[in-house]
Structure 1
C-alpha cells in the first residue's frame, strides 16, 4: 500500500509536498520519481505519482479514491494527566473519531494550560495516526474550559460512560439504523464523573452507558465505544 500524506489545500492546488513530509519521502522512504503515493486534502484522497524530488516533492494525480461512508463521532474527553492525552489522540484517531474535545472536569488532575503548544503536538500525532490508519481526514482537536461551554445541540445522541450504570449498554442505544447520526461520547478523567456532572448531562438528555464489567483506564475507554461504532458502521 502506498504511503499516505495529508497536505494543506494550498499545497494541493500546486501539487507540492513540502516540509517534514517532503523530508520523509526523500530521506526516510528514499522514494524516486514515478513512485506511487496517496495524497489527501480537504477530506479527499488521490492516488498520485512523484514527478520531481528536490527540497520539495512534486506530484501528479492519477485517480481519485472512493471514500467509504464513515460514522460521525465526537469524543468529549475529561482532561487526563501526563502523556495519556497523546494516547487518547493517537488511538481515537486510528479507531475513526471525527472530533476530539478535551475539557476540564471536576476530577481532572491536569489543568488546561499551554494549550497552543499541546495542540500543535497533538495535531501532529493525529496526522501520523490518520496516515497509519489510511483515513481520508484528520480529526479536529480542541480544548474547551468547561462542560457547559460545549454546544450539545448538533449531537443526535450524547453517550456518557458511567461506571455506576449497570444495565444500559451501547447496543441498547446505537444500532445499524442510527449509526450515521452525529454521536458524542463522553469519557471522564481519572476518577470518573461526579454527581454534579451526572445532573448536568441529564439536563442535556444524555444516555448513560456501561462499558462492561471492568473499569477501563480513561485513556483507552473511548476505544471500546469507537470499536463498537466501527463494527456497526460496516454491518
Structure 2
C-alpha cells in the first residue's frame, strides 16, 4: 500500500497539479519514510479529500507530488464518538490512538469523578497532545477524515448529550450486552461510547446518565482496561453498522 501524507494543500489540488510537502511532513516523507522519485503515494487534507500521486522531487525540506487522481469521501454517518475518561500514565493516550485507527469520528476527553489525571490547569496542552496522537494514528491508518478532539467534558455535558445522541455507557455490571443494542444506520444520531477511568464510573454518574436516557451496556463477562474498552466497543459497532 502506498505511503500516505496529510497537508492542507491537498484540499484544492486537482489532477495534474503539484502538491508540495514542507516542514515536518516533508521531513517525515523524505528522511523517515525515504520516499523516492516516481514512487506512488497518497495525500489527504484530513477532511475527506483523497489524492493519488507520484513523487516528482524528494528532498529533506521539500517533497513534490504530482496529483494523478482525486476523490472526495463523505463523512461517516452516523458518527462514532468516543468519550474517554482521563486516566493516569499513558492509558488514555493508548485508547485515543487505538480508537482512531479503528474508525472513531470524534473524541471527547472526560474529566470523570474518579479520574486520577486532572486537566484543570492544562486542558489546552492535553487537547493538543491528543490532537497530535490522533493525526499520526489517522495517517498510519490511511484515513480520509481525521477525527476531531473536542473540549474537556464534565458529566453534566454528557447528560445533555444523551438528549440528542445514542449514548452507550460501558459498564461491566450492566445487564445488557453491547451486541444486543439495536442498530439503525439511518437514525442519523451520533453513537457515543462512554469509557470510564481506571476506578470505573462513579455510581452517581451512572445514575445521572441512565436517567438522561443513556444505555448502560457491557462487553462480555470480563472487565477491560480503560485503554482497551473503547477499541473493543468500536469494533463491535463497526460490524453492527456495516462499516466492516
The TM-score normalised by the length of structure 2 is 0.85
1:15 alignment partner, SS class: strand
The 1:178/1:11 distance shift into structure 2, 3 A limit, reads closer
Pairwise CA distance, 1:181: 4.2
Residue number in structure 1 paired with 2:70: 64
1:22 alignment partner, SS class: helix
2:89 aligned with 1:85: no
Q: Comparing 93-102 with 6-15, which one deviates more in the overlay? A: 6-15
CA contact under 8 A between 2:11 and 2:49: conserved in structure 1?
A: no
CA contact under 8 A between 1:11 and 1:17: conserved in structure 2?
A: no
Residue number in structure 2 paired with 1:159: 168
Q: Comparing 116-125 with 197-206, which one deviates more in the overlay? A: 116-125
2:148 aligned with 1:144: no
2:223 alignment partner, SS class: coil
2:115 alignment partner, one of 108, 119, 135? 108
| CA distance in 1: counterparts of 2:187 and 2:21, whole angstroms | 36
1:21 alignment partner, SS class: helix
The 1:12/1:124 distance shift into structure 2, 3 A limit, reads farther
Pairwise CA distance, 1:153: 6.2
Pairwise CA distance, 1:137: 1.5
CA contact under 8 A between 2:20 and 2:64: conserved in structure 1?
A: yes
Pairwise CA distance, 1:158: 0.7
Pairwise CA distance, 1:104: 0.9
- Equivalences for residues 5-20 of structure 1 within 5 A: 5-9=5-9, 15-20=19-24
Residue number in structure 2 paired with 1:210: 218
Pairwise CA distance, 1:66: 6.8
CA contact under 8 A between 2:48 and 2:75: conserved in structure 1?
A: no
| CA distance in 1: counterparts of 2:68 and 2:163, whole angstroms | 37
2:101 aligned with 1:97: no
The 1:154/1:30 distance shift into structure 2, 3 A limit, reads farther
| Cα deviations by residue, 1:57-100 (Å, 9 ceiling, x for unpaired) | 22221112474874521111111111112201110101111111
CA contact under 8 A between 2:87 and 2:117: conserved in structure 1?
A: yes
CA contact under 8 A between 2:10 and 2:51: conserved in structure 1?
A: no
Q: Comparing 187-196 with 108-117, which one deviates more in the overlay? A: 108-117
| CA distance in 2: counterparts of 1:202 and 1:234, whole angstroms | 28
Aligned pair count? Answer: 234
Residue number in structure 2 paired with 1:3: 3
The TM-score normalised by the length of structure 1 is 0.88
2:58 alignment partner, one of 53, 59, 75? 53
In structure 2, the gaps of 5 or more residues are: none
Residue number in structure 1 paired with 2:234: 226
